[in-house]
A and B are shown apart, each in its own frame.
Chain A
Amino acid sequence: MSIGQVFLGLLESGPRHGYDLKRAYDDRFGHVRPLHYGQVYATLSRLLKDGFVELDGVEQVDGPERKRYAVTSAGVTDVDRWLSTAEKPELYLQNTLYTKVVLALLSGRSAADLLDVQRAEHLRHMRELTRRKASGDLADQLVCDHALFHLEADLRWLELTAARLDELTKRVLT
């Protein structure tokens, strides 16, 4: 997951200034680590260079001038691809998965589908580990078991989130 992808997702609901973006990001996803301004402007200039956002206008009320950014259709395509592709099951995915679910809800995409696609990917990986375990020695078995328990924890989270989507939708959209 990159900050850029999250910005694009947030810009889908309308153009924003860098400062707005930072605030929206921190409100929704920055519980652990809020963004620095440096990160915000570096990310925006990279998105601009890649053609994922464009300048939507410059305002100067009182103080410094503020640029407003809008997502381009290439940017929307990038968000689409990111949200519809399952994450490779790795440890400590919660943050990425949570962010994807919230952005799907914000943009009116199906969060249930996103969770289903991810669940299938996790299970596919668990099958592989289960097979590897069957043919391995005790050391292999223990290593695979460790990974399996972690994947299972992710999966339980995916299920619980699927069961709470209605509640989460209300929260996110108000």
Chain B
Amino acid sequence: MTAAPLLEADDLHRSFGATPALDGATMRVWPGEVVAVMGSSGSGKSTLLHCLAGILLPDSGVVTYGGRDLSAMSETERSALRRTDFGFVFQFGQLVPELTCLENVALPLRLERIRRGEAERRAAEWLERLEVADLARKRPGETSGGQAQRVAVARALVTRPRVVFADEPTGALDSLNGEKVMRLLTQAARETAAAVVLVTHEARVAGYSDREVVVRDGRTRDLTRAS
């Protein structure tokens, strides 16, 4: 792996009122690797992901992306960064119900002011890659959970992000559909050299990663190291 980490979180602390969600979390993400963030419910995995992605700011500790301190950026800069460099896949409910699947996948490109024809052409390619090209004209409500998740993966990758943040992306799926989503997600990420931060409490899902970071009571234990 290359020398410099893409994302670095150092000794993060973050509380919600009196609840400490992160209590000394440290992790690094190198370009193109798939890192699983594991741990039991309430251990702080999602909070860590939100801090890494600049959605939440830590109370103390530093997150840098490509050497830039996320806390030092303005909110406008951070949200621009999220649109151009990051992609997101959540457990469910992330597609806009009024739009077709094709329009959903094209949306991040449209927000970057790419004209409609070009955006939809690229979106169609991604639907094809995720093996759901036939859903282009359907609305999310007319698809199964597994299909909707593949559309969501296409939408996360269409902008060619450097990092994909996936929080329990298979949490609502059965084994077979979960496997399919994981296989397609990691394959597409590897082909485009995107890193993946994969939050999951399922070991079989973590099996698709290169290494894992374990979160316990807001603290990280990193037993495997990127070499």
Are A116 and B203 closer than 8 Å at their CB atoms? no
Question: Is B221 within 8 A of A126, CB to CB?
Answer: no
Measured CB to CB, the nearest residue on chain B to A162 is B216
- The digit string for A135-174, where 1 denotes a CB below 8 A from any CB of B, is 0000000000000110110011001001100000000000
Closest chain-A Cβ to B19's Cβ sits at a distance in Å of 18
Most buried by A among B183, B202, B203: B203
B61 nearest CB across to chain A (Å): 23
Report if A117 contacts B (CB, 8 A): yes
Stretch at the interface among B25-33, B51-59, B136-144, B205-213: B205-213
Q: Which one of B204, B206, B209 has the highest number of Cβ atoms from chain A below 10 Å of its Cβ?
A: B204
* Chain B residues with CB below 8 A from A119, complex form: 214, 223
Assess A123 versus B203: contact at CB under 8 Å? Given A134-B183, A159-B40, A163-B40.
yes
- B208 in contact with A130 (CB, 8 Å): yes
In the complex where A119-B214, A122-B203 touch, is A127 in contact with B40 (Cβ < 8 A)?
Answer: no
Q: Are B204 and A117 in contact, CB atoms less than 8 angstroms apart?
A: no
Q: Does B74 contact A (CB under 8 A)?
A: no
Our pick among B203, B209, B223, B224 for the contact of A155 (Cβ within 8 Å) is: B203
Cα distance A161–B214 in the bound complex, in angstroms: 15
Q: Tell me if A116 and B206 are in contact (CB < 8 A).
A: no
For residue A105, CB closer than 8 A to chain B, the reply is no
Give the docked Cα–Cα distance between A152 and B206 (Å). 10
Kindly list chain B residues whose C-beta atoms are within 8 Å of the C-beta of A163: 40
A interface majority secondary structure: helix
Tell me whether A130 and B207 are in contact (CB under 8 A). yes
Q: Which residues of B contact A124 (CB under 8 A)?
A: 224
Number of interface residues of B (CB under 8 A): 16
B207, B216, B221 — most chain A CB neighbours (10 Å) = B207
A79→B210 CA distance, assembly (Å): 32
Is A58's CB within 8 Å of the partner chain B?
no
Interface string of A55-90 (1 = CB under 8 A from B): 000000000000000000000000000000000000
A-B pairs with lowest CB-CB distance, top 7: A130-B207, A126-B207, A120-B223, A155-B203, A152-B203, A152-B204, A127-B207
Seed contacts A120-B223, A126-B207; 18 additional CB < 8 Å A-B pairs: A116-B214, A116-B221, A119-B214, A122-B203, A123-B206, A123-B207, A124-B224, A126-B206, A127-B207, A127-B208, A127-B209, A130-B207, A134-B183, A148-B207, A151-B203, A152-B203, A162-B216, A163-B40
